[in-house]
Amino acid sequence: MGRRARDRRRQQQQRQERGSDSGGGGDQAGWAGGYPEIVKENELFERYYRELGIVPDGEWGDFMAALREPLPATLRITGYRSHAREILHCLKEKYFKELEDLEVDGQKVEMPQSLSWYPEELAWHTNLSRKILRKSPQLEKFHQFLVSETECGNISRQEAVSMIPPLLLNVNPHHKILDMCAAPGSKTAQLIEMLHADMNDPFPKGFVIANDVDNKRCYLLVHQAKRLNSPCIMVVNHDASSIPNLQIDVDGRKEVLFYDRILCDVPCSGDGTMRKNIDVWKKWTTQNSLQLHGLQLRIATRGVEQLAEGGRMVYSTCSLNPIENEAVIASLLEKSQGENSQELTGWLIYIYSLKVMLKDGQWLEEWKDVPSNRQTQIRPTMFPVKDEEKLKAMNLERCFRILPHHQNTGGFFVAVLIKKSPMPWNKRQPKVISFKGAEMLTFNNISGLFLESNSDTEQSKKEGVCGPPPSKKMKLFGFKEDPFVFLPEDDPLFLPIQKFYALDPSFPKMNLLTRTQEGKKRQLYMVSKELRNVLLNNSEKMKVINTGIKVWSRNSDGEQFGCAFRLAQEGIYTLYPFIHERIINVCIEDVKILLTQENPFLSKFSSETQKKVKDMAMGSIVLKYDPDPTKPDDLQCPILLCGWQGKTSLRAFVPRNERLHYLRMMGVEVFKAKRKDEESESKTEEEVQHRLAQTEEGMDVEDKEHDLSDDHFHRFLSG
């Protein structure tokens, strides 16, 4: 942690201490989430939603009471890694057990609870606040665990309702996925995990293209995605309402890329987030929804245009407003003569009376009532469809609005759409490949509005078919990214690497790329074959912010040992299936030594390890730990570490947070206590931390990962 970060942390603690000493219910404020006093009232908000009837009769009081309560913090264990279950085991058997019967200031600590609807107990929620976490050593250890595991990507801080849309997409590893408005990236991370459901396949056939219009937020998206170390993710920067049509090479011919799954989580007014974003209480007006409706409809329409026949799109917002929700879906269905999916059958939706309220509180019930000077802002699509039969056929009751008081969550809206047939000018649109065991729903009839080529447009005009609106010219913002340059087939750089690591003949070397066209190549990255196809055929059409995982880094010392590139921890799980040499199997005690000591001598390792390295040449190696099922108390998931074998020593090149993670999974306590009365007890732990810091200093500059300070995560449990 830097000096300025430590100063900010100290100032925050001093302010909190002054606040708690001043009386007036300071402790209660801690349990309530530590929010400053604010009047959580908005007369226009209550009048608007009472009139629309989105809350069932007799539940209005519970609805408003829930909105005024702090939102429970929720976390999700990343599920595609093989050791997700081990993290869950550690949480339940160690940290949660320490919270049982724990009291702070005379109040019993509420135990975290799993979200019953999320698979395999991989999502949890808790009402613990930051202030309470700092009042107990056990709670502070729990907080440090969450912060550290979040930094290395094993735990994600994510709202419960935000986890729902990716689950409804029903993703399989072969799916081509578009996340239209992806930042900050928590839903994108879920999609990546689903692609990697089979950990034995390092290169699933599917991929995720994650888009965001905000150039700066794209880098936050990159940070989230990179934690998962997937070769199947690409981050791009475009306006979602005019995201370009991409092409791919299929058996030597160019074809349009249609997506099997699209997540359309559009920008919204966010009044479903009032429990955590309390400024919404003061700033809420109907104007926000009126201004966003058009953009939301354009983005959703563009999503449907790019969806493959048989594909699935999930539309979602964190807004309660029907103008942003049912009105968008109704307009989309009316355009495409479709109906809504039965995916949410049984999830209760309450009938509403759709009408528009102006900023001053005036109601407009029909489009004809809109003054001419307001007709550019208020659109006909904001009002209900007049044709009763057509409206009934849309099955809008199948949409799902989540109300905060039903399951103690934020407010949310979600709808599932299945595209059943293309529009008339989409004559060559491919169907989704049907895999055995994959469930494909066929009850929707969403039709795309995609314009395939100029020739199709001319043909459509001849046939009297109305085409889509003209496409916007692509605008590029922000920084100019370095190029993505694939290694040529005959690049001499690869031959020493292939020989040194005895790479399998099946290794896809054509998927290796660098970020420089001139000079020495310092890093080698890898993407999947499918993303390579996308990159090569669309370099002029899209602005790519980031893609690929780092698999090798240039090491100046390596050349004298036969290979100038050493393995990178980021890509080791992808590379390992193809490596046949330079692998050393180690026991759990050896792993502990590697992770806690800077540059340990070979004599410190087990005799088996010493024998294995005796005849091995110096240089980069893979250190592999396989669990022993006869020792259930030991770590029961495999570990791969990148290391370096010296003349008399053996070391691991692993980022600090990942080291702490593995040590914690092996039962080594690495929590650094901050209380003065615990300094003597934590001496050993501080020595471990010191050795870890020393080890990091020995790593190459390009290998160091910039650790985020605790200040970046100080809201982890504050909602």
Residue 501 identity: Y
Whole-angstrom distance, CA of residue 486 vs CA of residue 668: 42
Give, in order, the Cα–Cα distances in Å from 713 to each of 99, 169, 692, 709, 717: 21, 29, 21, 7, 9
At residue 372, the 3 state secondary structure works out as helix
Whole-angstrom distance, CA of residue 441 vs CA of residue 448: 17
Helix intervals (H) in 337-407: 388-393, 404-407
Residue 259 belongs to what H/E stretch? strand 259-265
The answer to whether 568 is annotated as binding is no
Instruction: Name the phi and psi angles at 374, rounded to 5.
Output: -110, 0
The answer to whether 212 is annotated as binding is yes
* DSSP of 145-170: HHHHHHHTTSEEE--TGGGHHHHHT-
Whole-angstrom distance, CA of residue 189 vs CA of residue 191: 5
Give, in order, the Cα–Cα distances in Å from 152 to each of 47, 219, 238, 370: 45, 17, 28, 53
The answer to whether 181 is annotated as binding is yes
The answer to whether 482 is annotated as binding is no
Residue 308 identity: A
Instruction: Name the phi and psi angles at 379, rounded to 5.
Output: -110, 155
The answer to whether 186 is annotated as binding is yes
CB 237 within 8 A of CB 200: no
Residues present in the chain in total: 719
Based on DSSP, count helices (H) and strands (E) in the chain, helices before strands.
24, 27
Catalytic residue among 264, 318, 399, 642: 318
CB 546 within 8 A of CB 231: no
For the record, the structure tokens of 504 come out as 């399998």
User: Is 318 part of the annotated catalytic residue set?
Assistant: yes
Instruction: Name the phi and psi angles at 624, rounded to 5.
Output: -115, 130
Closest to 716 (Cα-Cα) out of 121, 36, 38, 126: 126
Whole-angstrom distance, CA of residue 566 vs CA of residue 564: 7
* DSSP of 432-471: PP--TT--------B-------HHHHHHHHHHT---PPPP
Whole-angstrom distance, CA of residue 69 vs CA of residue 61: 13
The answer to whether 21 is annotated as binding is no
For the record, the structure tokens of 238 come out as 């475009």
The answer to whether 182 is annotated as binding is yes
Give, in order, the Cα–Cα distances in Å from 688 to each of 76, 286, 541, 579, 588: 28, 56, 50, 32, 17
Work out the number of other CB atoms within 10 angstroms of the CB of residue 331: 21
CB 231 within 8 A of CB 507: no
Whole-angstrom distance, CA of residue 177 vs CA of residue 493: 33
Q: Which residues have C-beta within 8 Å of that of residue 680, sequence separation ≥ 6?
A: none
* DSSP of 352-366: ----EE-TTS-EE-S
Q: Which residues have C-beta within 8 Å of that of residue 60, sequence separation ≥ 6?
A: 50
The answer to whether 173 is annotated as binding is no
Closest to 155 (Cα-Cα) out of 78, 234, 225, 212: 78
Instruction: Name the phi and psi angles at 486, rounded to 5.
Output: -80, 145
Whole-angstrom distance, CA of residue 287 vs CA of residue 301: 22
Binding residues for S-adenosyl-L-methionine: 181-187, 212, 239, 265
Residues carrying an active site annotation = 318
